[in-house]
Amino acid sequence: MKNKYNGYHASVLDIKFYLINSETGDILENKDGTEKEFQLKSNIRFKPLEYLCENLDTNILEEIK
């Protein structure tokens, strides 16, 4: 299969986290029942995320329109 993104590699644009109670498995929620979302603090470098896309084939990506 021809790779139309030849010469490009993937990187992370945005990532969100949520918290799960390790004993009950319950997701931490806001008062309205939606999942409470988290992101890394500004200027934090979390080394494992730098390797997230290391061997990601751009053929498995789909453009968001």
pLDDT tens digits for range 6-65: 889 899 888 999 999 999 999 999 999 999 999 999 999 898 888 999 999 898 999 999
Give the Å distances, CA to CA, from 7 to 2, 4, 22, 50, 61: 12, 9, 42, 19, 15
The token pair that represents 19 in the structure block = 């918290």
Angle at 23 between CA 16 and CA 36, to 5 degrees: 25
17 in a structural domain? yes
Rg (CA), the chain: 17
- Its pTM stands at 0.68
Angle at 13 between CA 58 and CA 37, to 5 degrees: 125
> What per-residue confidence (pLDDT) applies to 26?
98
Identify the domain containing residue 22 by its residue range: 1-56
42 in a structural domain? yes
Specify which residues 35 forms β-bridges with. 29
48 in a structural domain? yes
Tally of domains within the chain: 1
65 in a structural domain? no
37 in a structural domain? yes
33 in a structural domain? yes
64 in a structural domain? no
1 in a structural domain? yes
